Amino acid sequence: HLLLGFGAVAFGMMSKGPVALMVPVFCFATDWALHRQWSKFFRWQYLLGILVMALLLIPMSIGLYQQFDAQPNKIVNGLTGVSGLRFFYWSQSFGRITGESPWNNGAGIDFLFVNMLWSFLPWVLLFIPALIIRIVELVKQKFRLQPGQEWMTTGGFILSYLALGSSHYQLPHYIFVAFPLAAIMVAVLLKDFFEGDRYGQLHAIFKPVQWGISFLLLGVVLLLVAYVFPGSTLWLILWIIAVAVLVFIAFKKTIQPKMFWLSVAAIMLSNFFMTNHFYHTLMNYQLGNQMAACIKEKKVATDDIIQYKMLDPLNSFHFYAQGVISRDSFAIEPGKYVITQDSGLAKLTEKGLDYDTVTTGKCFRISELKPAFLNPDTRQAAMMDYYFLRIK
């Protein structure tokens, strides 16, 4: 099991970097320290585990070395001599805490928690007392766990949050790696509610709260399918069915505990609408999707396209177009295609370049939703114009 665990950590590191190693370390280290099980920190079997992890990481490490370290003249973020190995294993994670990484979006320690308020629905309000109960209990026990108690989840979550929240650059999904730990903590609290009859007063408070959140989620769904992105009659029928499911659970006496099953049904049904209607429609406003479809229809090679003075980073364009779109403005010449926005168009005109307009339209950075965009009456004003040109 230990070797399988180290192997799983290696695969986690391939996708998420060193955080996949640090989260398990935080979990086990906290629990062992609070149990005063110091001997567990020193076991010769860990050497075999580290060897397994290193062997699995060798192919990826070779790729990083060949792509970056072996090509010191390659320009990365305006710099040469950038080590791919150092970036992956240090700079892109620990470097954001130490300040070595240039990435900084000014996110504070509260940033990830604020985003949990929506991303960990419908359980986030239950998570808060679950966390507080664990901490208070530990303080009363003078920071020593009793046999049978665990602090892998709580300690792992707290240390992971502090590490991620200390980063100078954060995005909402960074906290997702700690969600399984938070989910277990909530599950323990719910078990105490339903089976142990502990925290009766707290249970009485949160029962109507969870009911309210459950029906509120479907209320938000109605707003999305009927107003934000009006769907066909089918979507309204499906919404009515979803509400009927919640009502059935609420009044069916044999379905217990209702607080739990209402929450489960509400988030599953809401995510069905979010995935198949809201996000599906939202993707139509992403420039990368629009442009990828356009160049495939026009049969334009990605090597002939240059992005010029774009406010949108076009990350999705590279993916959907299956090719890297150049930003080399010096490569703009007759026969090339240019994707640009208002400032770029004005600059091209100022330079006296002649061009044909292949297509034009509006787009929005869908990862940064704003009320003005979600409101159909102000959506057009919130969007940006883009132009796809062919230089004559």
Chain CA centroid to CA 43, Å: 35
Cα 386 to Cα 384: distance, rounded to the nearest angstrom: 7
Q: Which residues pair with 340 in a beta bridge?
A: 308, 387
Sign of CA pseudo-dihedral 277, 282, 288, 290:
positive
Q: Domain boundaries in the chain?
A: 2-180, 199-283, 286-391
Residue 391 has what DSSP assignment?
E
pLDDT digit of tens for each residue in the chain (392 aa)? 889 999 999 999 998 889 999 999 999 999 999 999 999 999 999 999 999 999 999 999 999 899 888 888 887 777 788 888 888 888 888 877 777 777 777 888 999 999 999 999 999 999 999 999 999 999 999 999 998 899 999 999 999 999 999 888 888 888 999 999 999 999 999 999 998 778 889 999 999 999 999 999 999 999 999 999 998 999 999 999 999 999 999 999 999 999 999 999 999 999 999 999 999 999 999 888 888 888 888 888 888 888 888 887 777 888 888 888 887 777 788 888 888 888 888 888 888 888 888 888 898 988 889 999 999 999 999 999 999 998 88
Nearest partner of 291 among 334, 355, 338, judged by Cα: 338
pTM: 0.86
> Which tokens is 183 given?
């989910």
Nearest partner of 357 among 339, 342, 344, 343, judged by Cα: 339
